[in-house]
A and B are shown apart, each in its own frame.
Chain A
Amino acid sequence: MSEVTQISATISPETRDLLERYVSAHGVKKSHLIETAVLHHLSALDAIPTDLVIPPAILVSRTTGKLILDRIETPEPPTPAMRVLYEG
C-alpha cells in the first residue's frame, strides 16, 4: 500500500483502553495495529459463514442497560418453572 489516508472513528472508552494498553505493551504504532486488525477482521468475515459467527460482545441500549444493572443488583427470585427444574 503506497498511499495513506486518514480516518476518524468513534469508539467506546473500553476499546480505546484496550488499544492504548496493547500499543504501550508491544511498542507498535496505533495506525499499524488498527490497519492490521481491520484487515484481519475483514478477512475472517470472508472466510467464516455468517451463521458460524458468534459476536464476542453485545452492546445494549441505555434502557436495557438499566434493567440489566437492576437485575444484577437485585435478582428476581427463581420462577416456578426454574424451581421445578432444580427439584428433579
Chain B
Amino acid sequence: MSLVLFTVLVIAGSAAAGLLGALTGLGGGIVIIPMLTILFGVNIRYAIGASLVAVIATSSGAAAAFVREGYTNIRVGIFLEVATTLGALLGAAIAAYAPASALGILFGVVLLYTAYSSMGAHHEHLYTGPLDPWSKRLKLDSTYPGPEGPIPYSARRITLGFCLMLLAGVLSALLGIGSGVIKVLAMDRAMQLPFKVSTTTSNFMIGVTAAAGAGVYLHRGYIEPTIALPVMVGVLLGAGLGADLLTRAPTLALRRLFTVVVVVLALEMLYKGITGGL
C-alpha cells in the first residue's frame, strides 16, 4: 500500500470513528487501535501512540464546548488528574515490558466492558452512605444547572474515586485510550456525582491523562508522523461533524451499532492476542 492510499483510508476510518464517538458519547479512541492493527497491519505500539494523539484531539475539542455549559467541575477535574497523570506515567512504564499479546488481550477485555457499560441504562445512585467531609475541605462541592435553578451536590467516597482514577490513568497509557468509561465509573458510581457532571468532567480530564502517557511515548519513538497525521485529521473532521449532527442523529440506534462494532473488535483483539497475531 502506498503512503497516499494509506493516508486517505486512515483519514476516512478515523473520521468514522470520531463521528460515531461524538454521536454516542463513547469517544472514538477505542476503535482507532483495532482499526490500525487489524485492518492496516500497523504494529500495536505505533497504534497506541497514534490513538493517544486522537484522544487528546477529540477530548480537547469537546471539552472546549462542554466546559461553558456549567456541568464540568474543574476542581474535581484537576484534583483527580493527580491520580490519572500518576497512573499514566506508571502505565507507560509497564508498557515497555508488556508483550503485544498481553496488550491485545487486555484491550479486548476493556472493549467488552465498554460495550457492557454502554448497554445498561443509567441507574440511580444506590449508595447512601455519609457525605465525605473532604468534599467540603477540598471545595469539590458545587452546583449544576437544573430546570429551576442550580442544584447543589457533594462528593462521597473520594478515596475510592481517587484509586479508580489511578487505574483509569494506567489503562489510558497502557492501551492508548481515554479511559472515559472508568472515569465516569469513578465519579458517577463511586463518588456519587451527578451523571452529567461525571461525563463532562471525565471528558475534561481525558486530554491531560492522555498527554501524560503520550509524552513518554514520544520520547520512546512510538509516535510515527505518517500515522499521527491521518488519525488526527480524521478524528477532528469526524468529531466536528458529529457535534453538528448531534441534535438530529438517531443516537440510540447509533449507540447500538457502535456497541456491536465494539464487541466484534473486542473478540478480534482477544483472538489475535491469544493466537499471537499482533
Partners in one complex: no
B interface residues, Cβ below 8 angstroms from A: none
A interface residues, Cβ below 8 angstroms from B: none
